[in-house]
């Protein structure tokens, strides 16, 4: 028998006829390896076709698979009977392919004869290993890989390929073969029934289910990329080319919003060729070395920790997230109020269109439908001078989008409007100086007292939670630049429909579990234990006494808690202790009649700052109305009794909105947050640490770290992505 397959043999004919994506990648291989891969691929194609030949009796298909088992044994100790098996024998002997992965391929395809449903991903993973990862294990022998690490790469890449195939072929597999290659427990978690697969349009649960499969497939692509052994990279050109094609396919499915029930989403021939050409161009370029996949603990389940955990899991790591509270969100979480059954945010938060990273995270989790969007800035103000005046932006480019709103805003004089329109131009010519107060900077930019009173001061309190006289000008400019002088859509306002925590969970928990990680709620951390030199974290000790060991750690807790967990003497520890907290007061009011006619009402010349109509979040069937009143930078009033605070807020509402006096408060909840934000005083940016600490496997996240933004949800999310990048 020849030691190599003959040109134009059975294997090459089967491979050419298949038109497979995989076969396209063989073009970059030397002739001998190309022929070997064609023969091996023909074997994979043949045994798969045996199983899929539904017109043949089960016994006949099982017998044909058994014949292949006999021939594989014969390859190693005799002469196989089938012509393709004889060609395969030459490949096996030349490239020293062990028998185990060949038998695993047969075991994998045979599962299609005996099983068409999978309860868990662990069950499905066995199938994917057999029909894809084992294929990769044979391929790396033909590619002449030299390292043991190539095995881990082949397993991860095989899983990524097969998960992409499964997502592409959901409808086809069910219609033609009656198979569903999605974990049934995940289907149930998203409320997906088997009947849903037969419908042409996605249900909301199916969109979430398919998004989870996309996330898992991407995780394995990233994991495989991290596992590539550098010494074997030159041997893996075919695998790298195929990765480019499959990743393009996966991203095309995502861009099409997972509309895969009508017809499979495929790459056109041009798209495949473009991916291959791009891949070939990249083969000769230097490759940035990436960290190996790690087990990473994220401590703190606020928006910062959730962003870090999501990104790290997506990028190929295995992540466990620990949160002390029973829900995610941290200092911006929601809970169920016992008396009324209403889901309340612990304090009133809004998102804006300029919260690009936050909106991206929510979209990636599939939860954009849990946001109530108002596509432009639309704020009503009330004051002793004007009972009601509205500031509403238009769709014109900035700063003209504010023009119509400013002219309709009765709180301003003409000189105030002109000063505001000139603000962004003057701000760029005369930027804020480190340590400068916002009021001092605004006056230096010729902002009028009227513009400061009616616009800049309310905006400063809302964004920085610090009075304008004591707020850092650099922080104020950054948030103002993004929210008011960016694109018109950046001024859009978003409310959560079902609570802030629901923007994150349960999807994040599913995503972490899908990639081997876990979410631990009601799991407070007690301390981090370091080695003798405090160079590495060695253990995470929980308050219940258990110890957790990980490769890397992301500390995503508020600065007050971080100061007690970081090692003494670390720069981040010192900076955390210098930040001062600034409180916020919120009061939820249930009323029988409306208090205000607008969704958002700002109060000028008043100790009350904002009133939000949250009636849309009341439980179905509820009567009455719900409002959230906010006092920012509340100062010493934080110590007043709840009764006193409610009376103060109601007196201000009644004073400035006279028609509200007819309504009756039926219930109220007072929320006090003494450390709602760090105090954004002059020089604050210089007091904030970055993501990297002096401990080599410990990274920081949190709105208090250096993001260039004040203590907002967007700042928290940005910090989480920063920490993930530093750790990953």
pLDDT in tens, 346-370: 988 999 999 999 999 999 999 999 9
pLDDT exceeds 60 at position 1:
no
**Looking at the structure, do residues 410 and 540 belong to the same domain, yes or no?**
no
pLDDT at residue 610, rounded to an integer: 96
Q: What is the mean predicted confidence (pLDDT) over 456-467?
A: 92
**Looking at the structure, do residues 175 and 127 belong to the same domain, yes or no?**
yes
In a domain, 344, yes or no: no
**Looking at the structure, do residues 593 and 704 belong to the same domain, yes or no?**
no
In this structure, what CATH number is given to the domain that contains residue 621?
A: 3.90.660.10
Mean pLDDT value across the chain: 91
**Looking at the structure, do residues 690 and 666 belong to the same domain, yes or no?**
no
**Looking at the structure, do residues 516 and 482 belong to the same domain, yes or no?**
no
Find the range with the poorest average confidence among 133-142, 326-335, 399-408, 695-704: 399-408
**Looking at the structure, do residues 700 and 722 belong to the same domain, yes or no?**
yes
Task: Identify the helix (H) or strand (E) that includes residue 629.
Answer: strand 625-632
pLDDT exceeds 60 at position 80:
yes
Q: Examine the fold and report which residue of 232, 260, 288 is the final residue of a domain before the chain moves on.
A: 288
**Strands 547-548, 318-322: pairing kind:** unpaired
pLDDT at residue 223, rounded to an integer: 97
Q: Which residue has the higher pLDDT, 470 or 400?
A: 470
What's the CA gap between 108 and 131, in Å, rounded? Answer: 5
pLDDT band for position 7 (cuts 50, 70, 90): very low
**Looking at the structure, do residues 201 and 302 belong to the same domain, yes or no?**
no
pLDDT tens, position by position, 621-633: 889 999 999 999 8
Q: What is the mean predicted confidence (pLDDT) over 473-479?
A: 92
Q: What is the mean predicted confidence (pLDDT) over 134-157?
A: 95
Number of domains observed in the structure of the chain:
5
pLDDT exceeds 50 at position 2:
no
Q: Examine the fold and report which residue of 288, 321, 351 is the final residue of a domain before the chain moves on.
A: 288
In this structure, what CATH number is given to the domain that contains residue 215?
A: 1.10.600.10
**Looking at the structure, do residues 452 and 589 belong to the same domain, yes or no?**
no
Q: How far is CA 43 from CA 35, 64, 450, 637, in A?
A: 13, 13, 80, 77
* pTM, full prediction: 0.93
The answer to whether 598 and 380 are in contact (CB under 8 A) is: yes
**Looking at the structure, do residues 543 and 691 belong to the same domain, yes or no?**
yes
Q: CB within 8 A of 666, min separation 6: which ones? A: 590, 591, 592, 624
pLDDT exceeds 60 at position 677:
yes
In a domain, 368, yes or no: no
pLDDT tens, position by position, 235-251: 999 999 999 999 999 99
**Looking at the structure, do residues 638 and 671 belong to the same domain, yes or no?**
yes
pLDDT at residue 14, rounded to an integer: 58
**Looking at the structure, do residues 674 and 690 belong to the same domain, yes or no?**
no
In a domain, 350, yes or no: no
**Looking at the structure, do residues 559 and 604 belong to the same domain, yes or no?**
no
Find the range with the poorest average confidence among 309-323, 409-423, 425-439, 683-697: 683-697
Dihedrals φ, ψ of 699, to 5°?
Answer: -130, 155
pLDDT tens, position by position, 44-71: 999 999 999 989 999 999 999 999 999 9
pLDDT at residue 13, rounded to an integer: 62
In a domain, 573, yes or no: no
The answer to whether 442 and 462 are in contact (CB under 8 A) is: no
What's the CA gap between 91 and 87, in Å, rounded? Answer: 7
Find the range with the poorest average confidence among 130-139, 232-241, 398-407, 563-572: 398-407
What's the CA gap between 537 and 127, in Å, rounded? Answer: 38
Q: Is the dihedral of CA 464, 468, 474, 480 positive or negative?
A: positive
pLDDT band for position 559 (cuts 50, 70, 90): very high
pLDDT band for position 6 (cuts 50, 70, 90): very low
Q: What is the mean predicted confidence (pLDDT) over 299-327?
A: 97
Structural domain span for residue 215: 115-288
Q: Examine the fold and report which residue of 491, 518, 536 is the final residue of a domain before the chain moves on.
A: 491
In a domain, 556, yes or no: yes
Matching residue, tokens 């107060």: 437
Q: CB within 8 A of 89, min separation 6: which ones? A: 1, 74, 75, 79, 80
Q: What is the mean predicted confidence (pLDDT) over 326-341?
A: 94
What's the CA gap between 216 and 647, in Å, rounded? Answer: 52
In a domain, 75, yes or no: yes
pLDDT at residue 401, rounded to an integer: 74
Q: Which residue has the higher pLDDT, 344 or 283?
A: 344
In a domain, 649, yes or no: yes
In a domain, 341, yes or no: no
pLDDT band for position 286 (cuts 50, 70, 90): confident
């Amino acid at each position: 028998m020849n030691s190599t397959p003959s040109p134009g043999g059975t294997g090459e004919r089967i491979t050419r006829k298949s038109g497979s994506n995989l076969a396209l990648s063989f073009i970059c291989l030397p002739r001998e390896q190309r022929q070997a891969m064609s023969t091996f691929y023909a074997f994979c194609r043949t045994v798969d076709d045996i199983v899929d030949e539904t017109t043949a009796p089960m016994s006949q298909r099982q017998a044909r698979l058994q014949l292949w088992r006999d021939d594989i044994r014969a390859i190693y100790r005799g002469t196989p009977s089938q012509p393709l098996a004889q060609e395969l024998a030459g490949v096996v002997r030349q490239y020293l392919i062990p028998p185990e992965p060949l038998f695993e391929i047969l075991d994998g395809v045979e599962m299609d004869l005996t099983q068409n449903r999978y309860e868990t991903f662990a069950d499905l993973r066995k199938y994917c290993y057999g029909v894809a990862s084992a294929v990769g294990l044979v391929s790396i022998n033909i590619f002449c890989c030299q390292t043991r690490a190539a095995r881990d790469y082949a397993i991860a890449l095989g899983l990524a390929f097969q998960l992409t195939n499964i997502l592409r072929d959901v409808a086809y597999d069910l219609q033609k073969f009656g198979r569903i290659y999605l974990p049934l427990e995940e289907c149930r978690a998203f409320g997906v029934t088997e009947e849903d697969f037969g419908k042409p349009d996605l249900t909301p649960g199916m969109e979430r289910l398919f998004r989870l499969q996309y996330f898992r497939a991407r995780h394995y692509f990233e994991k495989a990329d991290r596992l590539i052994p550098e010494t074997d990279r030159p041997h893996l050109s075919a695998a790298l080319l195929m990765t480019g094609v499959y990743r393009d396919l996966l991203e095309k499915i995502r861009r099409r919003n997972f509309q895969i029930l009508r017809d499979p989403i495929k790459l056109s021939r041009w798209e495949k060729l473009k991916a291959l050409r791009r891949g070939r161009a990249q083969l000769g370029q230097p490759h940035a070395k990436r960290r190996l996949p790690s087990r990473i603990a994220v401590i703190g389940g606020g928006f910062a920790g959730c962003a870090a955990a999501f990104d790290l899991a997506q990028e190929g790591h295995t992540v466990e997230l620990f949160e002390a509270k029973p829900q995610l969100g941290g200092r911006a979480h929601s809970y169920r109020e016992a008396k009324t059954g209403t889901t309340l945010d612990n304090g009133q938060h809004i998102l804006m269109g300029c919260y690009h990273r936050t909106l991206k995270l929510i979209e990636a989790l599939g939860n954009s439908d849990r946001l109530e969007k108002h596509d432009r800035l639309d704020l009503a103000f009330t004051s002793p001078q004007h009972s009601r005046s509205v500031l509403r932006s238009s769709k014109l480019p900035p700063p003209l989008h504010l023009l119509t709103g400013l002219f309709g805003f009765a709180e301003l004089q003409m000189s105030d409007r002109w000063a505001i329109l000139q603000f962004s131009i003057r701000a760029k010519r005369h930027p804020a100086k480190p340590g400068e107060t916002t009021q001092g900077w605004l006056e230096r930019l010729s902002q009028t007292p009227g513009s400061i009173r009616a616009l800049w001061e309310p905006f400063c309190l809302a964004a920085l939670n610090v009075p304008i006289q004591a707020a850092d000008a650099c922080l104020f400019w950054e948030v103002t630049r993004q929210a008011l002088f960016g694109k018109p859509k950046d001024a859009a306002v978003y409310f959560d429909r079902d609570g802030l925590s629901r923007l994150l969970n349960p999807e994040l928990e599913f995503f972490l579990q899908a990639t081997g990680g876990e979410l631990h709620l009601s799991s407070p951390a007690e301390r981090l234990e370091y080695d003798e030199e405090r160079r590495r974290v060695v253990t995470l000790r929980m308050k219940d006494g258990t110890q957790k060991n990980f490769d890397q750690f992301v500390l995503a807790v508020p600065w007050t808690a971080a100061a007690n967990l970081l090692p003494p003497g670390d720069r981040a520890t010192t900076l955390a202790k210098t930040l001062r907290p600034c409180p916020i007061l919120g009061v939820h009011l249930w009323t029988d009649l409306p208090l205000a006619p607008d969704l958002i009402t700002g109060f000028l010349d008043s100790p009350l700052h904002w009133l939000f109509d949250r009636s849309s979040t009341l439980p179905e069937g509820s009567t009455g109305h719900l409002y959230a009143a906010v006092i920012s930078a509340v100062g010493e009033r934080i110590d007043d009794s709840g009764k006193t605070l409610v009376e103060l807020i109601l007196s201000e509402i009644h004073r400035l909105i006279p028609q509200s006096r007819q309504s009756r408060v039926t219930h109220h909840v007072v929320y006090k947050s003494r450390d709602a934000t760090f105090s954004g005083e002059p020089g604050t940016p210089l007091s904030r640490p970055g993501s990297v600490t002096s401990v080599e496997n410990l990274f920081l996240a949190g709105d208090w770290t250096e993001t260039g933004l004040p203590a907002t949800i967007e700042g928290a999310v940005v910090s989480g992505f920063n920490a993930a990048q530093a750790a990953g």
